[in-house]
Amino acid sequence: MVKQVKISNFSEVKSIMNAATKCRDEIGVHDMKGSIADAKSILGLMSLDYTKPVLLVSENEAELERVYNALN
């Protein structure tokens, strides 16, 4: 499952990480340059390019929705 989101500030990055840490399955964040970070890793998330939308990726649809909804 994949969801595209636009991240505009560091608070939203922290929201992704906080929601992802509550998930049992892995949640990946992919930027448009091809870099991939574990959504549970703040250092990994900080290394991504947020000038364009990023993709939230997971095999677990319910957990992906939980992380996606943490941004709203």
pLDDT digits (tens, 9 = 90+) for 1-56: 999 999 999 999 999 999 999 999 999 999 999 999 999 999 999 999 999 999 99
Please list, in sequence order, all residues whose beta carbon lies within 8 angstroms of the beta carbon of residue 5, skipping any fewer than 6 positions away. 53, 54, 55, 56, 68, 71
User: pLDDT at residue 72 above 90?
Assistant: no
* Cα–Cα distance for residue pair 58/16, rounded to 1 Å: 13
- Quick one: tokens of 40? 């549970």
Its pTM stands at: 0.93
What are the residues facing 36 on neighbouring strands? Answer: 30
Out of 3.90.1150.10, 3.40.50.720, 3.30.1340.10, 3.40.50.12280, which CATH number does the structure's domain 2-69 have? Answer: 3.30.1340.10
